[in-house]
């Protein structure tokens, strides 16, 4: 009986020692020191789905590290990373499109993905394609009814994004030819995020807007919205990669100065081959797949 107890005790001690060694190994592997590491990210709502999935997967091997993700829009992300409020500022536009040259020179750009955007309309508008010229005339207020385009006899409700939005900036550059005055905020309504656009369009008839293509993976979006082709081209990943679809931009993660510590580790993970499948699954494009440059 004594031998059995002794064997049990030895076995228990062996397992305990292995456990301590394992925990010690992981503590060294996943920590800079004995303290919990924490960073905060803010900015682009278009990049939010990618951030949420990437943080969840990253945390599976980085026990105890804390990554706080907020949205707020590209302009907010750039401003907050510049003033040190956050560690990483996400943006759909280059920093020098929002900040002064001196300010943008303080930031380091990490292009992590390609982001597709799309024109969307309420289901039932009977329109599947618009030319660039027609889109400009809708958002400027020149075209006011779907019947002018061959659709229903129904007023067009234009839903805009705020001036701080990187998605709006991309829309201005790629669809409006860089002319901000062609988007008339005096008509329609303004919504401050992709999610808010979806909810506003869900409640409205005859609405049109633009949003990140990744949000059309949402069941609610598929049930209530339809994607409109631009000049006959669908917003597919292949069309973007081949340079046939123009409404897209880089997804940027900006840091103030060189990325270090947890911020660098997370940015590296977002861009890694390990994360590439998640990137594509969400509808983003891995940077190494893109051979063309966006319209600026």
Q: Does 141 lie in the same domain as 231?
A: yes
H or E stretch at 71: strand 66-72
Coil, helix or strand at residue 52: helix
Q: Does 150 lie in the same domain as 49?
A: no
In a domain, 19, yes or no: no
Q: Count CB-CB contacts under 10 A for residue 124.
A: 13
In a domain, 189, yes or no: yes
In a domain, 160, yes or no: yes
Q: Does 110 lie in the same domain as 146?
A: no
Q: Does 185 lie in the same domain as 130?
A: yes
Q: Does 169 lie in the same domain as 59?
A: no
What whole-number distance in Å separates Cα of residue 27 and Cα of residue 8?
Answer: 29
In a domain, 9, yes or no: no
Coil, helix or strand at residue 173: helix
* Predicted local confidence at residue 6, as pLDDT: 53
Q: Count CB-CB contacts under 10 A for residue 293.
A: 8
When divided into structural domains, the chain yields a total of 2
In a domain, 192, yes or no: yes
In a domain, 158, yes or no: yes
In a domain, 221, yes or no: yes
Range of the domain at 237: 116-241
Residue with tokens 């385009």: 149
- Supply the pTM of this predicted model: 0.80
* Predicted local confidence at residue 26, as pLDDT: 44
- In contact, 74 and 27? CB cutoff 8 Å: no
- In contact, 267 and 112? CB cutoff 8 Å: yes
What whole-number distance in Å separates Cα of residue 253 and Cα of residue 47?
Answer: 9
Residues 6+ apart with CB under 8 A from 222: 216
* Predicted local confidence at residue 28, as pLDDT: 38
H or E stretch at 66: strand 66-72
Q: Count CB-CB contacts under 10 A for residue 77.
A: 32
CATH number at residue 196: 3.40.190.10
Q: Does 144 lie in the same domain as 171?
A: yes
What whole-number distance in Å separates Cα of residue 16 and Cα of residue 44?
Answer: 46
Q: Does 136 lie in the same domain as 110?
A: no
- In contact, 74 and 166? CB cutoff 8 Å: yes
- List of the chain residues with pLDDT < 70: 1-34, 296
Coil, helix or strand at residue 239: helix
- In contact, 115 and 46? CB cutoff 8 Å: yes
What whole-number distance in Å separates Cα of residue 90 and Cα of residue 75?
Answer: 9
Q: Does 213 lie in the same domain as 67?
A: no
- In contact, 117 and 247? CB cutoff 8 Å: yes
What whole-number distance in Å separates Cα of residue 10 and Cα of residue 8?
Answer: 5
What whole-number distance in Å separates Cα of residue 211 and Cα of residue 175?
Answer: 13
DSSP 195-238: HHHHHHHHH-SSEEEEEEGGGGGSHHHHHHEEEEEETTB---HH
In a domain, 108, yes or no: yes
Q: Does 166 lie in the same domain as 233?
A: yes
């Amino acid at each position: 009986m004594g031998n059995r107890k002794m064997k049990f005790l030895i076995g228990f001690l062996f397992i305990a020692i292995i456990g301590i060694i394992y925990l010690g190994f992981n503590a060294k592997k996943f920590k800079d020191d004995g303290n919990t590491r924490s960073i905060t990210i803010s900015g682009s709502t278009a990049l939010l789905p990618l951030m949420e999935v990437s943080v969840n997967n990253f945390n599976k091997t980085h026990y105890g590290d804390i990554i706080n993700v907020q949205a707020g829009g590209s302009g907010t992300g750039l401003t907050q990373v510049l003033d040190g409020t956050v560690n990483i500022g996400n943006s759909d536009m280059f920093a020098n499109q929002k900040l002064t040259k001196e300010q943008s020179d303080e930031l380091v750009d990490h292009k992590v993905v390609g982001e597709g955007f799309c024109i969307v309309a309420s289901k039932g508008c009977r329109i599947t394609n618009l030319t660039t010229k027609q889109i400009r005339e809708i958002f400027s207020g020149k075209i006011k009814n779907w019947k002018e385009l061959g659709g229903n006899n129904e007023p067009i409700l234009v839903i805009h994004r705020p001036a701080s939005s990187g998605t709006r900036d991309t829309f201005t550059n790629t669809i409006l030819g860089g002319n901000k005055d062609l988007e008339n905020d005096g008509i329609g309504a303004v919504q401050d995020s992709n999610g808010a656009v979806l909810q506003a369009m869900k409640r409205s008839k005859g609405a049109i807007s633009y949003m990140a293509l990744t949000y059309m993976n949402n069941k609610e979006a598929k049930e209530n919205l339809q994607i409109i082709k631009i000049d006959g081209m669908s917003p597919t990943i292949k069309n973007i990669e081949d340079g046939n679809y123009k409404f897209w931009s880089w997804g940027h993660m900006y840091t103030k100065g060189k990325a270090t510590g947890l911020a660098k580790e997370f940015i590296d993970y977002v861009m890694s081959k390990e994360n590439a499948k998640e990137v594509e699954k969400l509808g983003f494009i891995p940077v190494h797949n893109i051979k063309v440059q966006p319209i600026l």
